[in-house]
Structure 1
């Protein structure tokens, strides 16, 4: 028997995806989208990301291909964020920053483990074609509220944006099959 891929079964691999997202700093005074890469595991968990936003997809893709071509020369570094004390990692190539952890970690061993997963996936990761558009702020633009007493001659104002507003907490638990309300208790 051969491997799953030899038998014609496609196995999901780690892959580089390209994301068009608003750049953190305004580009020439205007908010603009930039392209950044992210390496994700077969189960879509972010493993690491690019350190800079590129103006064009071709530039971002070239940065990924250069990183893969020079994987034997990368220098992984781990450290803590001074403000929080949490651990992060970064990768340098010829003293230039080329990759960052996609999040921070509470423990040094978690940081090391995730850095190893990134380095294992890096050389053989698939480079996906195309760009996905993402937005950081998904909130709707708020409409101005009517006066405190509502519309003159109308009923008092009651916001209606939340379907659960005013319902007791036990109803929320009942809808989740008895689970703890996720808005208050995070894993």
Structure 2
């Protein structure tokens, strides 16, 4: 197993619009499971790396929302700035709220110290 790490990815993959440009990031756990992802696609890798720096700080003590989608029945979390801008989100929906909360806890625990690796 490897250590938790941020990996830069094409922004279109994160927002499910393959033609969309930009760069985003995913935080992968030691077991290669996605712990969270950027909620935004950034103009370039440099902007995405700067956003990772901000997310590290927010993960340590910023705000978060747990949301429920009544259409799918799934739970997700969003990491937010002081201005309620969503900057990170769970990589998938969860069937149970407690699983979603646990995933957010794992993201918060690993994001501040995770390294950034090349895609």
Q: TM-score, normalised by structure 1?
A: 0.56
Query: 2: CA distance between counterparts of 1:110 and 1:71?
Result: 18
SS in 1 for 2:32: coil
**2:24 corresponds to:** 36
Whose Rg is larger? Answer: 1
Report the CA distance shift for 1:98/1:105 in structure 2 as closer, same or farther (over 3 A): same
RMSD (CA atoms):
2.0
Structure-1 residue corresponding to 2:71 = 83
Number of equivalent positions: 116
Quote the offset at 1:59 in angstroms. 0.5
1:24 deviation in Å? 4.4
User: Between Structure 1 and Structure 2, which shows a larger proportion of helix residues?
Assistant: 2
Q: Is the 8 A contact 2:77 2:89 kept in 1?
A: yes
Match of 1:100 in 2: 89
Q: Does 1:17 align with 2:22?
A: no
1:131-162 per-residue CA deviation (whole Å, 9 max, x = no partner) reads x3xxxxxxxxxxxxxxxxxxxxxxxxxxxxxx
Name segments (4+ residues, structure 1) moved above 4 Å: 23-26
1:14-163 alignment runs, 5 A limit: 14-22=4-12, 24=16, 31-94=19-82, 95-128=84-117, 130=118, 132=119
Aligned residue for 1:33, secondary structure, equals coil
Q: SS in structure 2 opposite 1:119?
A: helix
Task: Say which structure is richer in strand.
Answer: 2
Deviation at 1:82, TM superposition (A): 2.7
Aligned 8 A contact 2:66 2:77 in 1: yes
Cα offset, 1:66, TM superposition: 1.6
Label 1:98 to 1:32 Cα distance change in 2 as closer, same or farther (>3 A): closer
d(CA) in 2 for partners of 1:106 and 1:113? 12
